[in-house]
């Protein structure tokens, strides 16, 4: 494995260095713009987007019932992705009037419909989760390696049932 790792790191350094020489072929102004763009991207993620997600996750865990967490988490992720994909098209910032074959959809409608589908599905999941009987898979999923089939009650010397036993843990 060590030789694989050395190879990967060495190849990575060579590729990266080549990339740096290509970037360096630009004028200083352009190099600065490229680096600043990348750094602003990191900053937007680390200092804005991620803390907002942490705060929303923190609030969500306190405000929402446990059963809601999974569908809300997944729907939130899909929302983030839809928003990111909508940014370059929603307001058509790249529109040129001489070519109406680019950005030729109603992105606002499309975005809100997609969002409605996502959150509608989350709602359906919640309702379905409540209405449908607990599936065997779910029981198995919630079991741990120390879950075992119920054993015949062991009778101690004092005639009392010992503690333990392996009823599947389910909080419903």
C-alpha to C-alpha distance for 115 and 90, rounded to whole angstroms: 13
Output the smallest distance, CB 6 to other proteins, in A.
Answer: 7
Instruction: Restricting to residues 75-114, name those near other proteins by CB under 8 A.
Output: 77-78, 80-82, 84-89, 93-94, 96, 98-99, 101-105, 107, 109-111, 113-114
The residue within the footprint of other proteins, chosen from 124, 145, 155, 163 (CB under 8 A), is: 145
Binding of residue 58 to other proteins (CB under 8 A)? no
The Cα 147–Cα 135 span in angstroms is 17
The first and second tokens of residue 65, run together, are: 């019932």
Q: Say which DSSP state 99 is in.
A: B
Going from the C-alpha of 117 to that of each of 25, 27, 70, 78, the distances in angstroms are: 47, 47, 17, 10
Nearer to other proteins, 41 or 153 (CB): 41
**Footprint of other proteins on 27-56 (CB under 8 A):** 30, 33-34, 37-39, 41-42, 45-46, 50, 53-54
């Amino acid at each position: 494995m060590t030789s694989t790792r050395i190879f990967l790191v060495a190849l990575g350094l060579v590729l990266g260095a080549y990339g740096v020489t290509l970037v360096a072929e630009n004028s200083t102004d352009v190099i600065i713009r490229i680096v600043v763009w990348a750094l602003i991207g990191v900053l937007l993620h680390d200092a804005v987007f991620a803390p907002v997600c942490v705060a929303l996750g923190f609030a969500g865990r306190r405000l929402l019932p446990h059963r809601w967490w999974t569908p809300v988490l997944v729907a939130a992720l899909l929302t983030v992705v839809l928003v990111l994909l909508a940014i370059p098209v929603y307001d058509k910032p790249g529109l040129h009037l001489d070519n109406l074959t680019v950005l030729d959809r109603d992105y606002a409608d499309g975005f809100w419909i997609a969002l409605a589908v996502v959150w509608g599905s989350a709602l359906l999941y919640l309702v379905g989760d409540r209405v449908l009987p607990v599936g065997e898979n779910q029981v198995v999923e919630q079991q741990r390696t120390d879950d075992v089939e119920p054993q015949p009650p062991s009778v101690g010397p004092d005639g009392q049932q010992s503690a333990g036993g392996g009823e599947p843990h389910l909080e419903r």
